[in-house]
Amino acid sequence: MTGGACGMTGLGGRHRDKRSFALRLAVLASVAALLAGCGSFGGEKPTPQPIVPASAPKVAPAPTAVSQEQARIAAAYGGVYSKPDLVTLLNSVADRLAAASERPDLRYKVTLLNSPLINAFALPNGNLYVTRGLLAVANDTSEIAAVLAHEMAHVTARHAFQRADEERKAVLVSRVVSDVLEDREAGAVALAKSKLSLASFSRAQELEADRIGVQNIARAGFDPYGASRFLLSMGRQSELRSAALGQKPSQPGLDFLSTHPSTPERVQLAVTAARQIGAPGVGERDRDAYLVALNGTTYGDDPAQGFARGRRFLHPRLGFTFLAPEGFTFENGSEALLGVAPDGRALRLDAARLGSSQTLESYIAENWIDGVEPGPVEKLEVNGMDAVTVVARGKEWTFRFAAVKFGADVYRLIFAARELTPDIDEGFRASLATFRRLTQAESEQAQPLKIEVATVRPGDTEETLARRMAVTDRALERFAVLNGFAPGDPLQAGLRVKVIGE
Alpha-carbon span 41 to 135, nearest angstrom: 12
Model confidence band, residue 319 (pLDDT cutoffs 50, 70, 90) = very high
Q: Please provide the average confidence, as pLDDT, over all residues in the chain.
A: 78
Could you tell me the maximum CA-CA distance found in the chain, to the nearest angstrom?
77
Model confidence band, residue 487 (pLDDT cutoffs 50, 70, 90) = confident
Model confidence band, residue 41 (pLDDT cutoffs 50, 70, 90) = low
Spell 10-23 as b/e; 16+ CB within 10 A means b. bbeebbbbeebbee
Model confidence band, residue 81 (pLDDT cutoffs 50, 70, 90) = very high
Model confidence band, residue 502 (pLDDT cutoffs 50, 70, 90) = confident
| Predicted local confidence at residue 156, as pLDDT | 82
Question: Does the pLDDT value for residue 114 go beyond 70?
Answer: yes
Of 105, 110, 205, 109, the closest CA to residue 157 belongs to: 205
Higher pLDDT: 443 or 96? It is: 96
Alpha-carbon span 406 to 350, nearest angstrom: 12
Please report, for residues 20, 428, 452, the alpha-carbon distance to residue 152 in angstroms, rounded to integers and kept in the order given. Answer: 35, 48, 30
| Predicted local confidence at residue 42, as pLDDT | 59
Comparing 203-217, 306-320, 417-431, which segment has the lowest mean pLDDT? Answer: 203-217
Comparing 1-10, 111-120, 207-216, 239-248, which segment has the lowest mean pLDDT? Answer: 1-10
Spell 139-175 as b/e; 16+ CB within 10 A means b. bbbbbbbbbbbbbbbbbbbebbbbbbebbeebeeebe
Domain spanning 321-437: which CATH class is it, in words? alpha beta
Question: Does the pLDDT value for residue 461 go beyond 70?
Answer: yes
| Predicted local confidence at residue 172, as pLDDT | 46
Q: Is 400 helix (H, G, I), strand (E, B) or coil?
A: strand
From its phi and psi, is residue 488 left (phi > 0), alpha (psi between -120 and 50) or beta?
A: left
Please report, for residues 203, 205, 309, 411, the alpha-carbon distance to residue 199 in angstroms, rounded to integers and kept in the order given. Answer: 6, 10, 39, 39
| Predicted local confidence at residue 80, as pLDDT | 92
**DSSP string for residues in 487-500:** TTPPPPTT-EEEEE
Higher pLDDT: 17 or 329? It is: 329
Of 149, 31, 154, 38, the closest CA to residue 90 belongs to: 149
Q: In percent, how much of the chain has pLDDT > 70?
A: 73
**DSSP string for residues in 168-200:** HHHHHHHHHHHHHS--HHHHHHHHHHHHHHHHH
| Predicted local confidence at residue 245, as pLDDT | 66
DSSP state of 296: T
The pLDDT tens digits of the residues spanning 119-155 come to 888 888 889 999 999 999 999 999 999 999 998 998 8
| Predicted local confidence at residue 183, as pLDDT | 46
The alpha carbon of 237 is separated from its chain's Cα centroid by a whole number of angstroms, namely: 12
Element (H or E) spanning 219, and its range? Answer: helix 184-219
218 in Cβ contact with 150 (< 8 Å): no
The pLDDT tens digits of the residues spanning 255-273 come to 323 344 557 888 888 998 9
Alpha-carbon span 210 to 268, nearest angstrom: 11
The alpha carbon of 70 is separated from its chain's Cα centroid by a whole number of angstroms, namely: 18
The pLDDT tens digits of the residues spanning 380-434 come to 999 999 999 999 999 889 999 999 999 989 999 999 999 999 999 999 999 999 9
Question: Range(s) for CATH 3.10.350.10 in the chain?
Answer: 449-501
Alpha-carbon span 379 to 387, nearest angstrom: 6
Question: Does the pLDDT value for residue 438 go beyond 90?
Answer: yes
227-242 average pLDDT score: 88
Question: Does the pLDDT value for residue 60 go beyond 50?
Answer: no
**Fold designation for 449-501:** Membrane-bound Lytic Murein Transglycosylase D; Chain A (3.10.350)
326-337 average pLDDT score: 84
Higher pLDDT: 292 or 247? It is: 292
Higher pLDDT: 197 or 456? It is: 456
Q: Please, what is the end-to-end C-alpha distance for the chain in angstroms?
A: 20
Element (H or E) spanning 428, and its range? Answer: helix 422-432
Predicted TM-score (pTM) of the model is: 0.72
Question: Does the pLDDT value for residue 100 go beyond 50?
Answer: yes
Angle at 143 between CA 138 and CA 149, to 5 degrees: 125
Neighbours of 502 (CB within 10 A): 12
Model confidence band, residue 178 (pLDDT cutoffs 50, 70, 90) = very low
Alpha-carbon span 265 to 354, nearest angstrom: 50
| Predicted local confidence at residue 281, as pLDDT | 87
Of 118, 349, 332, 128, the closest CA to residue 240 belongs to: 118
Selection from 24-28, 172-176, 454-458 with the highest mean pLDDT: 454-458
Higher pLDDT: 124 or 274? It is: 274
Residue 251's contacts (CB-CB under 8 Å, 6 or more residues apart) are none
Alpha-carbon span 395 to 327, nearest angstrom: 25
469 in Cβ contact with 478 (< 8 Å): yes
Question: Range(s) for CATH 3.40.1000.10 in the chain?
Answer: 321-437
Question: Does the pLDDT value for residue 367 go beyond 50?
Answer: yes
